[in-house]
Amino acid sequence: MADKGARPTKFDQYAHRFDKLMLVLAFVFLVVWSTRIIFHEQLPGSVSAILLTVQFWIWLAFLADLVIRTVLSEKSWKFLWTHPLDVVAVLLPAARPLKILTVFTQGTMLASASGRFKTMQAVVGSTVLLLWLGAVWVLSAERGAPGANITNFGDALWWSIVTVTTVGYGDLTPVTLTGRIVATVMMLVGIALIGVVTASVAAWFVSMTSSQDDSDNDERDEERDTRDDAMATRVVELESKIDRLLELQGEPPAEPASKTRRLGTATEPE
């Protein structure tokens, strides 16, 4: 993205114009793909064919978007190396649902200020999305396979939750190569998400502790200032009484308090 005040590049202009469209297409792809997989046995053949056609045209849009971004990027072909998920989502049909994740990292559409609250929002949103993707993905790979025990969406979603949280009960396990690859990705992602959540919670506790310490320090400073002021006032009153006693005895008054200098809670002549 170009710096503020600088003229936007062609890549920035393209991203600003098409990021929203690509986000919508990614969600449409997710809905169509999920519907075709989850309700595979209930859908008529014609409806399934229509959904598959929609998927294909959206994939072509993904491919065109990747090519255009590569051409317009200042990094040229190095853009592909820095955006591996885009490439995998376009080249491998089984990985096309990952495109919905790559949209969140492209261009200007979802750019926002950093913060713990926004980070937690992103973590929660990503977790829900990954749970759904994993469930549908493993169901697509496992249903109909010999010896498979993940044959419906309910079991697939339960397996996805157990896998991402790294609990691993073992009651449901993938038997196909694709299913095991999905399981590996889900476990790695689960470990990463737990690390992010742990770090965010730790940062929140540190922030709360620091704020409390600052508040306690301010209160102690106020109490010390109040005590010092009261002590100084008391010293002035005592000096006034001493002066009156000296006057009654016919002796000269002591040095006025206005010519003394406070040092902490004590005073000494200037």
Q: Write down the pLDDT at residue 51.
A: 92
- Higher pLDDT residue, 220 or 141? 141
Q: Using an 8 Å Cβ cutoff, are 175 and 202 in contact?
A: no
pLDDT digits (tens, 9 = 90+) for 56-94: 998 888 888 888 888 888 776 777 777 777 777 677 655
Chain position carrying tokens 């595979």: 40
Distance of CA 270 to the CA centre of its chain: 60
Report the mean per-residue pLDDT for the chain: 75
- Higher pLDDT residue, 54 or 234? 54
Q: What average pLDDT score do residues 1-24 get?
A: 75
Q: Flag whether pLDDT at 229 surpasses 50.
A: yes
User: Which DSSP string do the residues of 55-113 spell out, in sequence order?
Assistant: HHHHHHHHHHHHHHHHHHSTTTTHHHHH-HHHHHHHH-GGGGGGHHHHGGGSTTTT---
pLDDT digits (tens, 9 = 90+) for 167-199: 878 888 899 998 898 888 888 877 877 776 676
Q: Using an 8 Å Cβ cutoff, are 197 and 123 in contact?
A: yes
Give the lowest-confidence range in 96-100, 145-149, 201-205.
Answer: 96-100
Q: Write down the pLDDT at residue 96.
A: 57
Of the candidates 210, 66, 58, 204, the one whose C-alpha atom is nearest the C-alpha of residue 123 is 204
SS (H, E, C) 123-182: HHHHHHHHHHHHHHHHHHHHCCCCCCCCCCHHHHHHHHHHHHCCCCCCCCCCCCHHHHHH
Q: Is 117 left (phi over 0), alpha (psi -120 to 50) or beta?
A: alpha
Determine the Cα–Cα distance for residues 232 and 264; give it in Å rounded to an integer. 10
Give the lowest-confidence range in 15-24, 58-67, 202-211.
Answer: 202-211
Q: Write down the pLDDT at residue 50.
A: 94
Burial class (CB in 10 A: 0-12, 13-18, 19+), 235: middle
Confidence of residue 204 (pLDDT cuts 50, 70, 90): low
Q: Write down the pLDDT at residue 111.
A: 43
Q: Flag whether pLDDT at 268 surpasses 50.
A: no
Confidence of residue 144 (pLDDT cuts 50, 70, 90): confident
φ, ψ dihedrals at 266, nearest 5°: -110, 170
